[in-house]
Amino acid sequence: MTGFDWLINQERPIRILTTLLKNRTLPHALLFTGIAGVGKRTAALALAMACNCRGETSESISEDGFAQDAARPALEPCGVCRSCRKIAAHNHPDIIQVQPRGPFIKIEQIRTLLQTLSMKPYEAKTRVVIISAAHCMNAAASNALLKILEEPPDRSMLVLIANHKTDLLPTIASRCQPVQFNRISDKHIASWVKKENDLNSQTAEIIAAMANGSLSNAQMMIDENWLLGRKWLIAEMQRLSLQPMARIFALAEKLARENESLAARLEIIKSWFRDLIIIPYDDKKIINQDVADQIKVAADQKDTLVHLSKLDAIQRMQSRLKANINLRLSMEKLLIQLAQ
């Protein structure tokens, strides 16, 4: 596969970009928004390839291996010419990628970019700057970038990548053409998981349902042996109401200590209580299909309103995660509520 073929379930962004290429109306700056893991950076690289493809699959090739109509961008890059191969290998001198250093993109990085853009591209028809996590620019970096957007350099295009348009300064966002990327459907994620990781359909569907529309989330779950941790945590939820208080406190301490994985753990816990609510009405729509029998038994033990109140408690905890809270005390409180 080459170029835009790499993208999954992103028909609208592909249509927008190929139309811009076809009409030769590419702006000097684009803003790709959407959650992590839906293909924004992949699309930016594909666009860079299309802008600089030398068209070795074209009907007319010159003696140096370049297409005779080299000024015209390709709707779909060939993937085999020198330019396409360099971009795919991340070693093209005119495809510049800017990423955060630590938590921020700093002004020194944008100043270096300014110096680079003041010179002509080495070999590209269109130099492409890809700024990943553009929402991580600090105030000084944002103001410096604004100068580039106000006076765009020749033969250069910027692609900013962020989660949300509102994460950027309005003055920056307004100078970029927005392209919104959607969450990937569970069906497409499950198909990709099966193909890339050789997993059975049921496992792939569980991962897809929990990936929240993101391929990177799905792959992380596989790489970090998430399935094994999920089985352990579901077993803990099943017997939580039977545990002594000391055991509940010990579980809360363990979960709070694993701070980096706590958000993922809470999603698993939420999926369990969600399934308890849904299974009386439609057992085909539960997430944890491999433990459907246990879900049916647990669902019958409590009224649906009780399960709903517990689900609300989990969601409140999730919304508080980014705040400066005492994780251990908060998890103790949550698990006591879930055990009742």
One domain for residues 97 and 9: yes
DSSP 21: H
One domain for residues 130 and 236: no
Residue that has been written with the tokens 């590419």 in this structure: 26
95 domain residue, yes or no: yes
Between the CA of residue 120 and those of 115, 160, 173, what are the distances in Å?
11, 21, 26
36 domain residue, yes or no: yes
CATH code of 27's domain: 3.40.50.300
Tell me, what's the pLDDT at 56? 60
173: nearest Cα among 147, 144, 141, 149: 149
Q: List pLDDT tens digits, range 246-264.
A: 999 999 999 998 877 888 8
Q: List pLDDT tens digits, range 85-101.
A: 999 999 999 999 999 98
**Is residue 174 within 8 Å of residue 206, measured between CB atoms?**
no
Domain boundary, last residue among 157, 180, 203:
180
Percent of the chain at pLDDT > 70 equals 94
Beta bridge partners of 162: 33
Tell me, what's the pLDDT at 226? 87
CATH code of 244's domain: 1.20.272.10
Tell me, what's the pLDDT at 80? 87
Mean of per-residue pLDDT scores for the chain? 88
Q: Cα separation of 74 and 136, whole Å?
A: 32
Q: In sequence order, what are the residues at sequence separation of 6 or more whose Cβ sits closer than 8 angstroms to the Cβ of residue 1? A: 79
Q: Cα separation of 49 and 138, whole Å?
A: 29
Amino acid identity of residue 251, one-letter, is: L
Q: Checking phi first, is residue 129 left (phi over 0); if not, alpha (psi -120 to 50) or beta? A: beta
Q: Cα separation of 151 and 271, whole Å?
A: 50
Section 50-73 average pLDDT: 54
Tell me, what's the pLDDT at 302? 86
One domain for residues 176 and 263: no
Provide the number of structural domains found in the chain.
2
**Is residue 214 within 8 Å of residue 36, measured between CB atoms?**
yes
One domain for residues 94 and 173: yes
Domain boundary, last residue among 127, 145, 180:
180
Between the CA of residue 82 and those of 49, 64, 79, 89, 225, what are the distances in Å?
10, 11, 9, 11, 39
Residue that has been written with the tokens 């990628």 in this structure: 97
Q: Is the pLDDT of residue 65 over 50?
A: no
**Is residue 199 within 8 Å of residue 193, measured between CB atoms?**
yes
Residue that has been written with the tokens 């029998």 in this structure: 293
One domain for residues 157 and 46: yes
Tell me, what's the pLDDT at 2? 58
Would you place residue 76 in the very low, low, confident or very high pLDDT band (cuts 50, 70, 90)? Answer: confident
Tell me, what's the pLDDT at 197? 85
Tell me, what's the pLDDT at 287? 92
Section 203-218 average pLDDT: 92
Tell me, what's the pLDDT at 73? 61
Q: pTM above the 0.85 mark? A: no
Q: Is the pLDDT of residue 136 over 70?
A: yes
One domain for residues 10 and 145: yes
132: nearest Cα among 156, 172, 99, 108: 99
Would you place residue 157 in the very low, low, confident or very high pLDDT band (cuts 50, 70, 90)? Answer: very high
Q: Is the pLDDT of residue 265 over 50?
A: yes
Which residue range is the domain that position 261 belongs to?
A: 224-339
Would you place residue 228 in the very low, low, confident or very high pLDDT band (cuts 50, 70, 90)? Answer: confident
